[in-house]
Amino acid sequence: MAAYTLLTFVRPAIYIVLLPLYLAEFSESEYGIYNLMIDFGQFMMIVVTLRISAAMLNQYYDYIDDKKKQRKYLSSLYSFSILISAFFILLLYFFGEGLFNAVFKSDSILFFPYGFTIIAYAILSEINLCYFTFLKNEKDIVKYFFVILLQVGLVMFFQFLYIIVLQKGVGGALIGMLMANVITTLAVLLMERNIITFSPDMAMIKKSLKFSVVLIPYLMIYWLMFKGGRLFLERYTDLNLVGIYALIIVLTGVVVLAIDAVQSGIRPFLFELFADKKGDKKQISLLTKMMVNVPLLIIPVVILVGCNMQVLTSNASWYSINVFMSMASVVVYVLVFSKLFYLQLVFARRSDLITLFSFLTVLILLVGFTYLIPLYKIWGVLWATLIANVCMAILFYFAAQKVNRIAFDYKSIFLNPLLVFFTLFAIEKLVISRGWSYGSFGLLQFLIIVGLIILLNVGSIKDYKTIFVNAKQKLPSKG
């Protein structure tokens, strides 16, 4: 499990590793454009293949006793993804420029080459996601390790080449990402010679689309919650402020990466326990406790970095993010709950409930963006997102418990994070009221919060280690 968790974290974390490069080479407005294009690409990943790859998460297990059907299912989904993507890229080639002009205010944000390049990148990413999820379900760590590290290495190489060596700026950064995905796709096709079929099983496709299409609204909501703030800031403010906010989100996004990495690593094992009608409730409780508590450790690290940006860049314009770091960390961490309860609903195949509650949440979010951003700018984005995230978590919790009840350890799931954040804000208020610097706050909170999190989880550390090292080993019977 540790390997899957680490690899899930590594792939998106490369943009954190490359952050000093971006801050050195891009101005605030250029960094704003770059992140807006990344956001647009991630939105395209939701729609270009009708997100059929999401069906691989659970419908793979419908054929768990028939390896031949599992391979046929992979081939059908992968081939259909290519077919539907070809249609979308042709459509966007002719109408994408008009879409860009309608969405973005700035004349600096161009569909050719920026938009079209990121769309091509998104299409290849989504096509390959079917295969990546299949490998994870198969627990084929060797192939999964290879394709993920190949993609990561290529992105780093090509971005360095296009940004530093060839001096191609934002356009070069996007081309570097596309080139990495092209080569990764070729590697997948070479490894899996039979992955493409000209006669996909349409019954499998229809069954998958029935699940994935109604899931799209939730995925759009999730995109809006985490990415939509930059889009609204671009509409109501300017690209410089978008760049500043983008840096905040990139840094606090490490918390989301940790949440996704832990949940992605645990998810196949948790779903197996769900599938077993006699699944060990103690193990389920421990796994869910781990999902919520482990990502907490990332928060003090992120705040430490955000409050000491002078270590990463000499450009003082970036230093202003320090006042937002604590609040932004809370905003993104709340996603751990909605994502946990989302997994319950996904396993129960209640994408209808996911869609309904996602729609309600997006209304709250859009109202918040519309009224708060013009008044409070970055603070407006954070408050609007926090309110929406909390609403989504509450709605998902009650729905998930009704369709797939889990005996949570409520103290560890809810009270531990509450105590951590209460302590965090108390430290910030104390430090700032005494006239100390945010750099001092970053260091002090790091020492105290890390110690507090370890103390709160000291009784479960051995169990966490057991899960990571050998997930199939019998866990202790304690909760």
- Per-residue confidence of the chain (479 residues) as pLDDT tens digits? 556 656 666 666 677 788 888 998 999 999 999 999 999 999 999 999 899 998 898 888 888 888 899 999 999 999 999 999 999 999 999 999 998 888 898 989 999 999 999 999 999 999 999 999 999 888 888 898 899 889 989 999 999 999 999 999 999 999 999 999 999 999 999 999 889 999 999 999 999 999 898 888 778 877 877 788 899 999 999 899 999 999 999 999 888 888 887 887 777 777 777 776 655 667 777 788 888 888 899 999 999 999 999 988 888 889 999 999 999 999 999 999 998 898 888 888 787 888 888 889 989 999 999 999 999 999 999 999 999 999 999 999 999 989 878 877 788 788 999 999 999 999 999 999 999 999 999 999 999 999 999 998 887 666 666 665 554 444 444 43
The pLDDT value recorded for residue 468 is 56
> Going along 316-384, which residue ranges are E strands?
none
Hey, what are 192's tokens? 């899996």
3-class DSSP assignment, residue 194: coil
Please indicate, yes or no, if residue 253 is contained in any of the structural domains: no
Please indicate, yes or no, if residue 44 is contained in any of the structural domains: yes
Q: How far apart are the first and last CA of the chain?
A: 20
The pLDDT value recorded for residue 99 is 87
d(CA 442, CA 436): 11
Range of the domain at 199: 1-216
The pLDDT value recorded for residue 1 is 53
The pLDDT value recorded for residue 457 is 82
DSSP output for 64-114: TT-HHHHHHHHHHHHHHHHHHHHHHHHHHHHHHHHHHHHH---TT--IIII
Please indicate, yes or no, if residue 357 is contained in any of the structural domains: no
Please indicate, yes or no, if residue 37 is contained in any of the structural domains: yes
Please indicate, yes or no, if residue 381 is contained in any of the structural domains: no
The pLDDT value recorded for residue 168 is 94
At residue 151, φ and ψ (nearest 5 deg) are: -65, -45
Residue 193 per-residue DSSP state: T
283: Cβ–Cβ under 8 A, 6 or more apart, which residues? Answer: 273, 475
Please indicate, yes or no, if residue 64 is contained in any of the structural domains: yes
d(CA 89, CA 121): 11
User: What residue type is assigned to position 92 of the chain?
Assistant: L
User: What residue type is assigned to position 477 of the chain?
Assistant: S
In the chain, how many domains are there? 1
Q: 46-100, pLDDT tens digit by residue?
A: 999 899 998 898 888 888 888 899 999 999 999 999 999 999 999 999 999 998 8
Residue with tokens 């005996």: 407
Note whether 239 and 110 are within 8 A (CB).
no
The CA-based angle 22-25-31, given to 5 degrees, is 50
Please indicate, yes or no, if residue 461 is contained in any of the structural domains: no
